[in-house]
Amino acid sequence: MAPPLIQLKDIRLTFGGTPLLSGVELNVAPGERVCLIGRNGSGKSTLLRIAAGLVEPDGGTRFVQPGATVRYLPQEPDFGEHKTTLAYVEAGLAPGDDHHQARYLLEQLGLTGDESPHNLSGGEARRAALACVLAPSPDILLLDEPTNHLDLSTIEWLEQELDSRRSALVIISHARRFLTNLSRSTAWLDRGRIKQIDRGFASFETWRDEVLAEEERDQHKLDRKIVDEEHWLRHGVSGRRKRNVKRLANLHALRDQRRNYRGTAGSANLAASEAEQSGKLVIEAKGITKAYGERKIVENFSTRIQRGDRLGIIGPNGAGKTTLVNLLTGGMPPDSGTIRLGANLEMATLDQHRESLDPKSTLAEALTGGRGDHVMVGGKPKHVVGYMKDFLFAQAQRGTPLEVLSGGERGRLMLARALAKPSNLLVLDEPTNDLDLETLDVLEEMLGDYDGTVILISHDRDFLDRVVTSVIAPEGNGKWIEYAGGYSDMLSQRGADLKRETAKAQAPAEKKEERSAAPASAPKRKLSFNEKHALETLPKKMETLHADIAKLQRVLDDPNLYAKDRKKFDDTSAAIAKAHDELSAAEERWLELEMLREEIEQA
């Protein structure tokens, strides 16, 4: 086995009373891809900063292989005094690094390099920070929530970019699919210690549940043993004194073990305060259009949203997702077309912009509005401390200034404020940002149990698949199309995902290079019988597949199919995906044979 590039040994760190990290061990070998998992507040970001050499632990050692380069992506990058994003990225390069990489990566991430770092949006700041850590091609990349504020196309680009690199990765992320596609081992930071397996995130949740179940059985056995020993102490202490003294000491040790046991943190108690039921029709949009000058944001879009629907809206940053939501919910008028809102609507909104919170105010003040000790939850007063506990805040955090809260804690605070208001329509803008996996699970369950309607803007592919019943995606120039099902269902209906299209685009070029590399003296060949037959029959097969796809698409165009016949929807989606794959293979084979025929004729 190769020696580790970075090694943390017996790392200990305490803030206040309870140790945050106690005897943490972490080894990262060359090319290894580790996802670092843990609850909000468990110390993941702190551990990553220790690995980066930015925080000094109370005890333990940090070793980095001499000559190994380490780059760390924080959740909130510091741009210092740099005037442009290009200057910021180039400042992270070492002597001998390729300066062209700086501008290339900025362009790939949708930046010019001339932007002022201090006027960037959250997504732009994250893309600039990614370019800064990727440009040197380091041996070790330490990434803290790299997908936050990124749109889906950028997340998929980043996934492919990281997958193609030889750097070792340590990734903290809430994005399940991102972790599943990239990780090869999992480090679980739980109650101050790390448990690690040589399997990626796809195996984590099953393994975690097995570990916790075994731990619960061990604690039950310990409790039983303590009861038995206490019974002996009361009734059987009259035996040999020396043996009794030793047994009594063992009982004290068992009690100490039980007393020092740190149980797992509880789950958040997320529950939306529901208002009276809305009408069956929630929102109806007919031919709505919105433009800013020459730029079309929404062009002739129509939809009908009914009570209980879960609508997901996706698209690149700047595509107009928030504008579309504001149009649908009556927050702004369309330039043309009509919006009709249903009866008895009560809307609660979760805004992704947390800067609306006063960083100097306390947690309790943010929840109560600075008025007393109670939060109005569903129209009824609830003591602020009890409501804080529902969202996994400790009583001691009541007076904590918001500026010192972690990203996950601020995310839970925004949820707590939004869910306190009675509603039958929830509008959630990026609710998953910074939330740990356990809180995401509870949020999914809450939305599943919610009797009202949900409109959700998200870039989390897995969360969309688990929650929504339809997806609205932009097609360019203000055109938006609604697809039944989740994110994966949308890809099936569109017929191809980004990776497949990229592979198809590269294939002809690769084949052409292979042919040009063939020796000029290669003997002239003829088409075989099978090749001639394929060349003659493939066009008819492609025509048939086109007709089949059109027929299947007409079935999927029924907006109510998913709700009324899920099996038919799933079967049709699978069939159309298979037909697209067969069509793709037929087109590539025909093109290959046609080019071969032309080469033979011209030889």
DSSP state at residue 274: B
559 is in an annotated binding site: no
**Spatial contact of 79 and 91, defined as CB atoms under 8 Å apart:** no
Query: Which residues lie closer than 8 Å to 262 by C-beta, 6 or more apart?
Result: 18, 191, 192
Is position 3 annotated in a ligand binding site?
no
Is 334 labelled a binding residue?
Answer: no
Pairing of strands 374-377, 380-383: antiparallel
Half-sphere exposure of 468 (CA within 13 A, CB side): 31
Pairing of strands 140-144, 168-172: parallel
117 assigned to a ligand binding site: no
Q: Is 42 labelled as part of a ligand binding site?
A: yes
The answer to whether 315 is a known ligand-binding residue is yes
How many contiguous H segments (helices) and E segments (strands) does the chain have? Answer: 19, 20
Is 320 assigned to a binding site? yes
Please indicate if the annotation marks 40 as binding a ligand: yes
The answer to whether the annotation marks 38 as part of a ligand binding site is yes
**113 known member of a binding site:** no
d(CA 366, CA 419): 14
Strand, helix or coil at 287?
A: strand
The answer to the question of whether 316 is labelled as a binding residue is: yes
Q: Please, where are the H alpha helices in 391-520?
A: 407-420, 437-449, 461-467, 487-494, 498-516
Chain centre distance of CA 576: 27
Q: Indicate the residue type of 552.
A: L
491 vs 580: CA distance, rounded Å: 11
Residue 203 assigned as binding residue = no
Task: Give yes or no for a contact between 373 and 363, defined as CB atoms under 8 angstroms apart.
Answer: no
Round the CA-based radius of gyration of the chain to a whole number and report it: 29
166 annotated among ligand-binding-site residues? no
Of the candidates 1, 67, 6, the residue with the CA atom closest to the CA atom of residue 34: 6
Does the annotation flag 318 for ligand binding? yes
Annotated binding site for ATP: 38-45, 315-322
Annotated binding site: 38-45, 315-322
